[in-house]
Structure 1
Amino acid sequence: MSTADRPREKASAASDVAAVCRDAGFVRLVAAADGDSLAATGVLARALAATDRPFQASVVAPTADPERATEADATITLGRADAAADASIPSAPDPVSEVAFRAAEELGHADAVLALAGASVAPTTPSATLREAAGVERRPGVATPTSNLSEGLAFGTRLHAPFSGDPETVRAALADCNLMLAAEDADAMDDDDRRRLASMVALRTVGDADATERAAESVEDALRPHAGGPFGTVEGYGDVLDAAAREAPGTGVALALGHDSRDAALSAWQTHGERAHEAITSATTGRYDGLFVARGESQGDVPVGTVARLLRDFRSPEPVALFVTDGLAAAAAVEDRDLAASMEAAVASTGGRAAGTGRRAQASFETDTAAFIEAFRGAL
């Protein structure tokens, strides 16, 4: 069914979220399936645990029904709308994890590094205040969650380049820059090597024949990362959180709560990145006025939200990118244009469910891809 009658997101101040947490005997945290919302869940959950308040944490897919019978005294939604929630932190104007951090500070226990990792994959930019609280410094290089560069560059989703999805192509690129010895151990690199690595990644990303002008700006998101956190770089940590939230929510929740789930989270991250980059490489594309469309092949579980974001940032010459595969679609926009409403209008005519925000939206639909594309074009 359509979700066109869904309530628009109501924003709760950090102090209100903290008050709900203080007053409730049992708190239910419901997060959207993205790294920012997952990190926010971890920040609040750790604050609740530190003050001996019981909680339940879950991640809900964009078009899934979040309703579940619990004995919770209060429900807090993170990155998603719910009219019945006692408090909600939407995905704008501030990162969800940053608002959660401010609430956790009021509760007396706030993990700034986790919050900054989540904010690094949010649609909006984290503040200097959060960066200062995290106490981490930028260093030369590229954001990856593993010291194995051939895997870190191939499967990361902070950029899309000719080597994305293929560790062997990464190794060849490293060899061209005399960085092959660092391929399996980036921790052994000095700052000069890291600068050469960043230059290689930037040049190959923006120099790709299919890259757009926007790619030159977008690739900066992967360069000069903050050093720290359980995955070496804060931005690499954020990439893993985002992948796990979408690919393996249970593992993602365990990671955000601080449990020993590093290997499982990295496995989910690798699977997610491999699927996303393969979907971009194999997609058939088309361009319309204001809209860039990529049709994916039927190839199992495709992370449509991640694919749409990467298309917008690195392949789309238009302000909106739409990725469509059998029964699933996602769109990403450069600026806020209420994509959620456009996606809802599309599924109202095709059947299905839709959810999203001003800049990102996803849908499941009950027609063929051509019909859905036309419906979305009309709604946009």
Structure 2
Amino acid sequence: MPSTINHQPLTPKSKKILVTGTAGFIGYHLAKKLLERGDEVVGLDNINDYYDVNLKYARLTELGIQKDTINNQQSTIDQNLSTINYSLSTRFPKHKFIKANLEDAQTLNNLFETEKFDAVCNLAAQAGVRYSIENPHAYIQSNVVGFLNILEACRNFGVKNLLYASSSSVYGLNESQPFKTTDKTDTPISLYAATKKSNELMAHTYSHLYGIRTTGLRFFTVYGPWGRPDMAPMLFADAISNDRAIKVFNHGKMSRDFTYIDDIVDGIINVIDMQLKNRDIKACKLYNIGNNSPVELMEFIETLEKAIGKKAKKEFLPMQDGDVVSTYADVSGLMNDFGYKPDTKLSDGIGEFVEWYREFYGKEENDK
């Protein structure tokens, strides 16, 4: 579905970029935009079942990667020669995909040795704050061990440009707002947040020791078409459309710095381009990327109700473990270094999301 929101076009410069997590929400959108402007993109994802894999396969299909080619894909290692069998895109000539885990260091090394990437964008991770309470080992394996393997592959195969996903969750119990990248982040309240903080520390170490230009982006509540079904926009839209009550935690007394997906992707690409263009850029950087305009939860629900054309039934509940009351991004770093700031209005972004939701899930307008 084409977007009706206008964003400034970025100057294309063809490079070979590894994007991990391309079956995921942000990874899919990033890969698509890079390919549309002419870059060569190698996608990687393990397509785990944390949420509906059909949505993940549908995203890949939009990139021209067909499910049957993924299921027939194998990565084989010979004694002296590694052969990687990719799924090739039927839509983008410069796109290919491999199904793999970040924890599989051997496959990653084979991939890096074969492809010789100009830049790596690591978006693959075990997502979800609350799920980290139920399944902590998955987070350590994917988010810590997997990220170490990415760093080691960059070091061993000469990749000097690495962008990776961090999260606003690292701010934990910080009370001072807006959140600044100079704030202390040593009070995480979920294991997910702790793994993201560990990524930042590991990246700093590899930048210091090996001169890899690492840039971490702390994402703030990303939403939009093709979003994750475990996050509020999708949960609420599904419940409202099917006459179920939505769960309103902390009795609605919460706020989030909702950030539209196109703004996130444009920010990522700005950073990638700057890394590739300016060899003198500092080796280790951190940025917040959020809308710099927190929205009360009840206002968010009202905006969604208007877009769907239907009132929500609400179940008011206490705060959940691992959650925070509010998030608010200071984006002065992005403004100072890139002249960039997310600016999509919530009503516009939610309108785009609801249009996609109806199209993808076959919902009729004003479904009763």
- TM-score (norm. length: structure 2): 0.28
- TM-score (norm. length: structure 1): 0.28
